[in-house]
Amino acid sequence: MTNIGVLLVVVVFLALCFDYINGFHDTANAIATSVSTRALSPKHAVVLAAAFNLLGALVSTGVAQTIAKDIVSPKLTTQEVIIAALLSAITWNLLTWYLGIPSSSSHAIVGGVAGAAAAKAGFAVLHWDGLGKILAALIFSPIVGMILGFIIMKILNMAFGKLSPSRVNHGFKKMQVLSAGLLAFNHGSNDAQKSMGIITMTLIATGIQAQTVLAPPLWVKLACALAMSLGTAAGGWKIIHTMGGKIFKLEPINGFAADLSSSIVIWTATVFPSLHLPVSTTHVVSGSIMGVGSAKRVSAVRWGVAQQMLIAWIVTIPTTSLIAALYYLIVSRIM
């Protein structure tokens, strides 16, 4: 039997690896529009995103508490379960990153935790109410992003439609610096909390942290924030290429509208008192870009690419659940 302290170290290490990978996998979404419109150089965009991710990750802990308690009870979550869940999410993120597919780290970790816990003790241990709430947020947030992106783009078209395109694009290139920073901040405030919640679950399960205290300790917040920031600095150019150009040919005003609508959706899910829900930055940004493109004309959106992304989104949770269950069977035998 492996020492509990050693397992805890393994969990923390894997959680920070997941955050690092999340940084270059998902943060590409925050800067894809500004890079594709040349509002920011890739180097400056990555530095901007890394800095604002770090700040965002330190702001709130509500999503971390949701992850820690709403998928499965922390006291039933052993280190073996968490290790299997993290290995599953990391495997899926690396695979989709290699293929350049904008997949969801949020889906991956939720599917991983659910699959590993079910492999250990059956489906009865899952908190179906909490899991349903999380899944609903993951499903509906990109739809809201699409609608909001459409509305914001229509408003901008009405406000600036009579000006010359060159003048509008020059002004919105500057605005995109602000919108990219805002989106990166919101990404950090939501996504880094998933790893915080995972580590908190383990601290509670091992008795290091009281079951009544669901907020992550300061060292957990700092470590997760730094890991995601470092991952962001590594970049994610394959996904930037897909998000920034393959869905819809973006101009600065479009990029600003997509960033703003995505930020509103993510911030609402993160800090609204009755929510504190994890959402997928990938899904929300993709939905927003589709909405912005549709505001110009429906045919402007490359729906074939959107369909490929939709398939990847649909298969993420069942696939990572299955992978996590297999990892659990291996890890439980070894440890």
Where in the chain are the domains? 4-334
Q: How confident is the model at residue 106 (pLDDT cuts 50, 70, 90)?
A: confident
Cα gap 165→156, rounded to integer Å: 12
**pLDDT at residue 102 tops 70:** no
Q: Which two tokens stand for residue 120?
A: 């250990």
What mean pLDDT, rounded, does the chain reach?
Answer: 81
The count of other CB atoms within 10 Å of the CB of residue 298 is 10
Measured at the CA of 223, the angle between CA 226 and CA 46, to 5 degrees, comes to: 15
> How confident is the model over 59-70, as a mean pLDDT?
73
Cα gap 256→214, rounded to integer Å: 36
**pLDDT at residue 183 tops 70:** yes
Residue of 72, 28, 316, 10 whose CA lies nearest to 191 = 28
The phi, psi pair for 122, rounded to 5°, reads 90, 165
Q: What is the pLDDT of residue 118?
A: 92
DSSP at 126:
B
**pLDDT at residue 245 tops 60:** no
**pLDDT at residue 170 tops 70:** yes
